[in-house]
């Protein structure tokens, strides 16, 4: 029998409560995106961030189906997410569309899927799509409006918390697991799997088919950040994965109260940590990741073409050198999200 997950936050909340200080944003004209996290997240001082989402929206008519698809696309457009030209794999669904970013570097952002009877719509939003949502003015509120109009089921949601202090690292989790910190009040202890690779260590607590699972890994090493950086040495990500089914219902306010759901999953482990760590900053993480890619590229450039650039500088200006050598990549062009470059 599957263990039940916490299906409500520590405090009851609604969209009209004082906790949702910026809920009015979803009714206002969308403003240019900024290079900070959503005001809703920052004003409420949430430590965690939604990192992945799969949502099922039910429709009762063709008109409601078409309207829902249209509104989802309109919202995604404001996030600079568009319909991909790549073909949709119809293995499990009759039809659908793939989503990608409109950035210089194209990122896969998820999919919208449905069956021939058009009785439901599956919306899948990947980690990169959630990054764009977390730094947007409107956050998840347009999607929450659709969830109020349509019956829905959250099939999966990931909530991530970061530590940069090394206090809550892999060793910390191993000790907490051994002392029963992840064990339920009754029933068997969840399974634990340890994996080590060239990109760091990862611990999986709980089965991937269970209603909840923790994944803890060395994020700085996974991103291949500079080895002498604080992030490489100390950045640990704690990721809670919740999965809904017929018996386990995940309420919609998991999107507006992520800290509470994260804490209630394993309170014995995360009560102190949630208080002690700094709030996650998606904007900072994106800049850190892009800076690392830039620095690795410049290092390779220096090794391969440094002498040529030095020679060119004798007869050309720096601007002329850049104009003669700069070009976009045919694939996987490194870039900051365009939304972060809007002033």
The partner residues of 196 in beta bridges, in order of sequence, read: 201
Is residue 327 scored above 90 in pLDDT?
no
Task: Report pTM.
Answer: 0.79
Query: How does DSSP assign 116-166, residue by residue?
Result: TT--EEEEEE-HHHHHHHHTSSSTTHHHHHHHHHS-EEEEEEEEEEEE-SS
What whole-number percentage of the chain has pLDDT above 90?
56
Kindly report which listed range (65-69, 189-193, 227-231) carries the lowest average pLDDT score.
Answer: 227-231
Highest mean pLDDT among 11-15, 84-88, 323-327: 84-88
Query: Phi and psi at residue 244, in whole multiples of 5°?
Result: -95, 155
CA dihedral 271, 273, 275, 280 (to 10 degrees): -130
Which whole number is the average pLDDT over 309-333? 80
For residue range 149-173, list pLDDT tens digits in order. Answer: 999 999 999 999 999 999 999 999 9
Range of lowest pLDDT (49-53, 193-197, 306-310, 331-335) = 331-335
Strand, coil or helix: what is 79?
A: coil
State pLDDT tens for residues 96-133. 999 999 876 778 999 999 999 999 999 999 999 999 99
Confidence of residue 16 (pLDDT cuts 50, 70, 90): very low
Biggest distance spanned by C-alpha atoms of the chain: 76
Q: What is the pLDDT of residues 197-211, one digit of tens each?
A: 988 999 999 998 899
pLDDT of residue 289: 72
User: Measuring CA to CA, how many Å separate 43 from each of 220, 255, 269, 337?
Assistant: 27, 15, 26, 23
Average the pLDDT over each of 140-144, 170-174, 187-191, 228-232 and give the range with the smallest value.
228-232
């Amino acid at each position: 029998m599957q263990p039940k997950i916490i299906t409500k936050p520590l405090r009851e909340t609604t969209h009209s409560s004082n906790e949702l200080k910026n809920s009015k944003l979803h009714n206002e004209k969308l403003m240019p995106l900024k290079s900070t996290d959503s005001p809703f997240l920052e004003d409420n001082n949430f430590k965690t961030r939604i990192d992945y989402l799969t949502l099922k929206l039910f429709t009762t008519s063709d008109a409601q189906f078409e309207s829902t698809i249209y509104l989802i696309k309109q919202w995604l457009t404001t996030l600079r997410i568009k319909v991909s030209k790549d073909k949709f794999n119809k293995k499990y669904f009759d039809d659908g569309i793939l989503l990608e970013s409109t950035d210089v570097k194209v990122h896969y952002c998820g999919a919208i899927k449905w069956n021939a009877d058009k009785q439901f719509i599956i919306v899948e939003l990947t980690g990169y799509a959630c990054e764009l949502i977390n730094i947007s003015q409107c956050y998840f509120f347009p999607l929450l409006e659709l969830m109020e109009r349509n019956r829905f089921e959250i099939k999966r949601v990931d909530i991530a918390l970061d530590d940069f202090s090394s206090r809550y690292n892999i060793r910390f989790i191993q000790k907490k697991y051994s002392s029963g910190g992840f064990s339920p009040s009754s029933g068997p202890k969840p399974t634990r799997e340890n994996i080590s690779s060239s990109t760091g260590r990862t611990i999986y607590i709980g089965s991937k088919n269970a209603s909840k699972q923790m994944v803890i890994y060395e994020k700085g090493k996974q991103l291949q950040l500079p080895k002498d950086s604080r992030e490489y040495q100390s950045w640990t990500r704690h990721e809670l994965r919740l999965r809904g089914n017929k018996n386990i219902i995940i309420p919609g306010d998991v999107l507006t109260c992520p800290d509470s759901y994260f804490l209630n999953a394993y309170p014995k482990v995360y009560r102190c940590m949630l208080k002690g760590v700094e709030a996650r900053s998606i904007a900072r993480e994106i800049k850190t990741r892009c800076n690392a890619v830039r620095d690795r590229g410049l290092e390779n450039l220096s090794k391969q073409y440094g002498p040529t650039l030095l020679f060119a500088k004798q007869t050309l200006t720096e601007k002329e050198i850049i104009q003669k050598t700069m070009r976009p990549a045919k694939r996987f062009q490194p870039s900051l999200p365009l939304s972060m470059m809007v002033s």
